[in-house]
């Protein structure tokens, strides 16, 4: 599993390399030159791997940084700086490649994209030219990228974001290493995990909001690793809210990172099976808590909490989950805590068998399961932490504006801080943050949420940090 995922990891970078090379060659050679075609074909080949599972992918530019399907590209920023600047100069902020894009369409787009900005402007803009040439499967600025929670004003704040991002990536890499060790040696290097968790715990103590934002990062292909990292971050955020001691925070972090370690024993075809699992497959899937507990119990240096959480994270509050713990009669409080984080992250992630649920819908599911699947008190704490409309939700306000939720409001879980995506009816909009609990002089709220929206229906992409 790990090997397959690692193979996919460099895909975006390769894609961008082909794009840059094609544009470079298109400046020197005619569009049908084999050099150019070579790069175009390389790009298309790589793109096909992504479009195999998705209808489209979008490359966006915001704040002079590149995003791929809303995910901020970290390593690629410096290497593709020229690409970013070129797009900015041509007033292009998002390029969407749809499934079925042809070599001809790509060639036309590349040729246009290297044209002089002034010439393009005179000709009516690159978007008009593409439409004129009948390019249907490459769309410009069709999607709006919203950056929730990333109010990185000033160098210190930017540095904090950068550091948190680095920590996140380190954690993901550590998780990958742990899963590889578990696969190869049935053993996990706990001390490395402890060190990285230490960074997250310290980071959460400094700036919890940043980590709440980070926990939204998803990866379809590296789901398990990103999921484990997100579950650890969400668990630590809840635990931090409950004022757990430092020692227990560290232990919880490691335990949450390893909660799915048993999946190394689950066949990839079951993990990634598109569609419903058969009963037999589901039984195999259900073994991963026991397998996880087994891997961890066999190691002298693993903390007991990790074993307990690995075994109990699917057991459910009313013990109707798996494995059966009715004989023991109780579950560890922190197992309940990890369960909530686990389910929330899983529901809001794209899986092979279903699309990601909207965050507020996932929250609704958690709320509906309080007292049965989830610990009722911890559900309250989690809602308090994330809000009923978690960060990344897209909502419609009563003045008609569409806004993205950027920050929860602990004083009122129904009235988070939002950032408008479109101009509002009364003209208020733009990029500023709005506190929905603000009131007018007569005591009524200035704005309220009417309903939540699916950002995909509105061509809105919520950016994530990594």
* Interface with other proteins (CB under 8 A): 241-245, 248, 251, 290, 293-294, 297-300, 303-305, 307-308, 311-312, 323-325, 327-328, 332-334, 367, 370, 377, 380-381, 383-384, 388, 410-414
Collapsing DSSP states into helix, strand and coil, what is residue 307?
helix
Judged by beta carbon, residue 44 or residue 388, the one nearer other proteins is 388
- Which residue's CB is nearer to other proteins, number 5 or number 388? 388
Question: At its nearest, how many Å lie between other proteins and the CB of residue 364?
Answer: 10
CB of 299 to other proteins, least distance (A): 7
DSSP string, 377-412: HHHHHHHHHH-SS-TT-EEEETTS-EEEEEE--TT-
d(CA 39, CA 65): 23
Identify which of residues 153 and 280 has a Cβ nearer to other proteins in the complex: 280
Rounded to whole angstroms, the Cα distance separating 103 from 462 reads: 29
Nearer to other proteins, 247 or 276 (CB): 247
Beta carbon of residue 297, minimum distance to other proteins (angstroms, whole number): 4
Cβ distance to other proteins smaller for residue 102 or 324:
324
Cβ atoms of residues 23 and 110 within 8 Å: yes
Closest to 150 measured CA to CA, from 162, 139, 140, 135: 162
Most distant CA pair in the chain, distance: 76
Rounded to whole angstroms, the Cα distance separating 325 from 260 reads 18
Q: Which is nearer to other proteins, 17 or 308 (CB)?
A: 308
Dist. CA 29–CA 373, nearest whole Å: 62
DSSP assignment of 254-265 equals HHHHTTTGGGGG
The CB-of-278 to other proteins minimum distance in angstroms stands at 21
Helices (H) and strands (E) in the chain, counts: 20, 12
Task: Give the angle 462-465-466 at the CA atoms, nearest 5°.
Answer: 115
- Can you tell me the distance from the alpha carbon of 203 to that of 189, in angstroms, rounded to the nearest whole number? 22
Decide whether 286 or 459 has the Cβ nearer to other proteins.
286
Shortest separation between residue 243's beta carbon and other proteins, angstroms:
4
351 strand-pairing partners: 354
CA 331/CA 89 separation, integer angstroms = 58
Residue pair 192/202 in contact by the 8 Å Cβ criterion: no
Q: Considering the complex, state which of residue 143 and residue 370 has its C-beta at the smaller distance from other proteins.
A: 370
Closest distance of CB 367 from other proteins, Å: 6
Question: Which tokens in the block code for residue 278?
Answer: 């058969």
Q: What is the smallest separation between the CB atom of 320 and other proteins, expressed in angstroms?
A: 14
The pair of structure tokens assigned to 14 is: 């390769």
Please, what is the minimum distance in Å from the beta carbon of residue 342 to other proteins? 17
CB of 247 to other proteins, least distance (A): 8
Q: Are 255 and 338 in contact (CB under 8 A)?
A: yes
Minimum CB–partner distance for residue 212 and other proteins (Å): 17
Length of the chain measured in residues: 466
Q: Please identify, using beta-carbon distances, which residue of 217 and 311 lies nearer to other proteins.
A: 311
Query: Which of 51, 208 has the CB closer to other proteins?
Result: 208
Distances in Å between the Cα of 371 and the Cα atoms of 218, 231, 377 are: 28, 21, 9
List of residues 6+ apart from 335 with CB closer than 8 A: 308, 309, 312, 313, 315
């Amino acid at each position: 599993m790990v090997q397959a995922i690692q193979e996919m990891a460099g895909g975006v970078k390769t894609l961008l390399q082909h794009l840059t090379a094609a544009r470079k060659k298109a400046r020197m050679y005619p569009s049908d030159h084999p050099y150019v075609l070579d790069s175009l074909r390389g790009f298309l080949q790589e793109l096909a791997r992504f479009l195999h599972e998705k209808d489209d992918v979008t490359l966006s530019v915001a704040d002079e940084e590149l995003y791929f399907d809303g995910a901020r590209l970290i390593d690629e920023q410096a290497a593709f700086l020229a690409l970013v600047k070129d797009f900015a100069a041509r007033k292009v902020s998002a390029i969407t490649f749809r499934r079925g894009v042809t070599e001809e369409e790509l060639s036309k787009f590349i040729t246009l994209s290297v044209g002089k900005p002034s010439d393009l402007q005179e000709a009516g803009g690159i978007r008009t030219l593409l439409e004129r040439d009948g390019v249907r499967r490459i769309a410009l600025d069709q999607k709006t990228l919203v950056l929730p929670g990333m109010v990185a004003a000033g160098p210190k704040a930017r540095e904090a974001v950068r550091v948190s991002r680095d920590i996140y990536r380190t954690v993901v890499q550590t998780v990958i290493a742990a899963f590889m060790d578990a696969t190869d040696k049935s053993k996990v290097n706990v001390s490395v995990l402890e060190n990285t968790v230490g960074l997250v715990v310290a980071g959460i103590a400094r700036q919890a909001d940043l980590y709440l934002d980070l926990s939204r990062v998803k990866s379809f292909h590296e789901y398990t690793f990103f999921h484990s990292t997100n579950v650890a971050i969400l668990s630590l955020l809840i635990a931090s809210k409950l004022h757990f001691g430092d020692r227990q925070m560290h232990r919880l972090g490691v335990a949450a990172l390893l909660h799915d370690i048993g999946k190394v024993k689950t066949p990839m075809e079951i993990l990634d099976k598109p569609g419903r699992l058969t009963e037999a497959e589901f039984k195999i899937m259900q073994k991963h808590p026991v397998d996880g507990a087994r891997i961890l119990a066999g190691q002298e240096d693993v903390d007991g909490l990790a074993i307990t959480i690995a075994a109990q994270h699917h057991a459910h509050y009313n013990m109707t989950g798996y494995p059966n713990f009715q004989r023991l009669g109780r579950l560890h409080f922190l197992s309940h805590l990890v369960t909530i984080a686990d389910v929330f992250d899983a529901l809001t992630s794209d899986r092979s068998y279903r699309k990601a649920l909207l965050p507020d819908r996932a929250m609704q599911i958690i709320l509906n399961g309080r007292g049965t699947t989830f610990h009722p008190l911890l559900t309250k704490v989690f809602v308090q932490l994330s809000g009923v409309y978690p960060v990344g939700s897209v909502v419609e306000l009563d003045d008609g504006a569409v806004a993205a939720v950027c920050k929860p409001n602990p004083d009122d879980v129904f009235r988070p801080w939002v950032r408008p995506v479109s101009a509002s009816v009364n003209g208020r909009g733009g990029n500023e943050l709005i506190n929905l609990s603000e009131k007018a002089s007569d005591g009524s709220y200035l704005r309220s949420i009417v309903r939540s929206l699916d950002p995909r229906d509105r061509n809105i992409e919520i950016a994530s940090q990594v």
